[in-house]
Amino acid sequence: MFISDTGKKIKDRREPKIEKSKIDKIAFSYLKFQTPRENRSNIIAFFSILLYVLGMIPILGVPFSFAYFMAAIVPIAIIQIWALLYLFAPYKFEKSYYLFFGVYGVVNTYVYFLAAQKLLYYNVGAEGKVPFIIGLFLFVGLLLMVNWLNVKALYTGTYHELQQKKNINVRWISVAGMGYVIGQIILSTLYGESTIMLIMIVLISLLSIMTAYFSVYIHRYFYIVKNIDSVKQVYPDFGLPLNERHDKSKKG
């Protein structure tokens, strides 16, 4: 699904309206926003590729499981309905987009968790509750660790230093992701010998690291709400409908 704009193009490059020295450097580093049009493009691309194709194909694959399908399709349907706001009115709902995108990150990671579990039980041949419990622990742990690292990176100034292109050591950021992947590899190895299924589970786990990172937008949303005055200093038109923005072009 693709929605095109009519009339003349809107100036999409989002440039801060004030010098960053006028607000805290840590806050400024967290207030680097894309345009609403780019937000809408993200939804189209990420939903199409990461959620529908890479997330649902393993769940729909043979052997089919109605239980796994329903566990995945319900949150997907809810997040898809919510996404309509940002497809049709991305400017008006710019602020809540960050909450939406964070929840989408959780949903997409959850779908990958289901896909990995389905492969483990139906294709690899795992039995009992232990693989599910371990997988659930890894899933929740990944989300918690990524969000903890996000807060740590913000308040230690890591985001600010990265934006200044300084040579800093951020290898610790990969700890959560690699721990999740290693856990999935061990889990798959213990309960099966299928190399192809093992590779697929590892690939799904790698994708989970990226979608889990999207969940940090939940924290960013509440940070925006708490610091809305600073946001308005940097982007005066933030959250306004398109027809009320000062940087828009006249439409034909």
Count of residues for the chain? 252
What is the distance between the alpha carbons of residues 135 and 114, in angstroms, rounded to a whole number? 9
Give residue 202's pLDDT.
Answer: 83
Q: Which amino acid is at 21?
A: S
Is residue 124 within 8 A of residue 194, CB to CB? The reply is: yes
What is the distance between the alpha carbons of residues 29 and 40, in angstroms, rounded to a whole number? 22
Between the alpha carbon of residue 56 and those of residues 1, 9, 110, 113, 199, the distances in Å are 17, 35, 11, 11, 17
Give residue 186's pLDDT.
Answer: 63
Q: Report yes or no on whether pTM surpasses 0.85.
A: no
Give residue 23's pLDDT.
Answer: 65
User: Side-chain half-sphere of 15: how many Cα atoms within 13 Å?
Assistant: 6
Residue 187, both tokens: 């889990």
What is the distance between the alpha carbons of residues 106 and 100, in angstroms, rounded to a whole number? 10
pLDDT tens-digit profile, the chain (252 residues) = 434 444 444 445 565 555 444 567 778 888 889 999 999 999 999 999 999 999 999 999 889 999 999 999 999 999 999 999 999 999 999 999 999 999 999 999 999 999 999 998 988 888 899 989 999 999 999 999 999 999 998 888 877 777 776 544 445 455 555 656 666 666 665 555 567 777 888 889 889 999 999 999 999 999 999 999 989 988 889 988 988 887 554 343
What is the distance between the alpha carbons of residues 43 and 62, in angstroms, rounded to a whole number? 28
Give residue 142's pLDDT.
Answer: 94
User: What angle is formed at CA 229 by the lines to CA 24 and CA 143, rounded to 5 degrees?
Assistant: 70
DSSP states of the chain: ---PPPSSPP------SS-GGGS-HHHHHH-----HHHHHHHHHHHIIIIIIIHHHHHHHSSSP-HHHHHHHHHHHHHHHHHHHHHHH-TTTTHHHHHHHHHHHHHHHHHHHHHHHHHIIIIII---SSHHHHHHHHHHHHHHHHHHHHHHHHHHTTHHHHHHTT-----GGGGHHHHHHHHHHHHHHHHH---HHHHHHHHHHHHHHHHHHHHTTHHHHHHHHHHTHHHHHHH-TTTT--GGG-TTPPPP-
Give residue 211's pLDDT.
Answer: 95
